[in-house]
Amino acid sequence: MAKSLTFTMMHFTIAFSVVYLMTGDIMVGGAVALIEPAINSVGYFFHEKVWERFHQKQAHAVQVG
C-alpha cells in the first residue's frame, strides 16, 4: 500500500509540475494533476482487459499449435 501511495503522490506532483511549468497557472496545474490520473486509471483498466485477451489468445495458440 505504501508503494501505491508514494507512486500516486509522485504522479500528482509530476503532472502538476509539468502543467504549471507549461502554463504558469496553479489552478490548471492542480486540475490536470487531479483529472489526468483519474482518466489514466480508467485507461489502465481497459488496457488490462486487452492485455489479458492477448495472453489468452497466445496461450490458446500454444495449446492448439
Q: Which residues contact 13 (CB under 8 A, 6 or more apart)?
A: 33
What are the b/e assignments for 33-65, b being 16+ CB within 10 Å?
A: beebeeeeeeeeeeeeeeeeeeeeeeeeeeeee
pLDDT tens figures, 12-41 = 999 999 999 999 999 999 999 999 888 988
CB 17 within 8 A of CB 29: yes
CB 50 within 8 A of CB 33: no
Q: Is the pTM of this model over 0.75?
A: no
pLDDT tens figures, 35-65 = 988 898 888 889 999 999 999 988 888 888 6
- Residue 65 pLDDT: 66
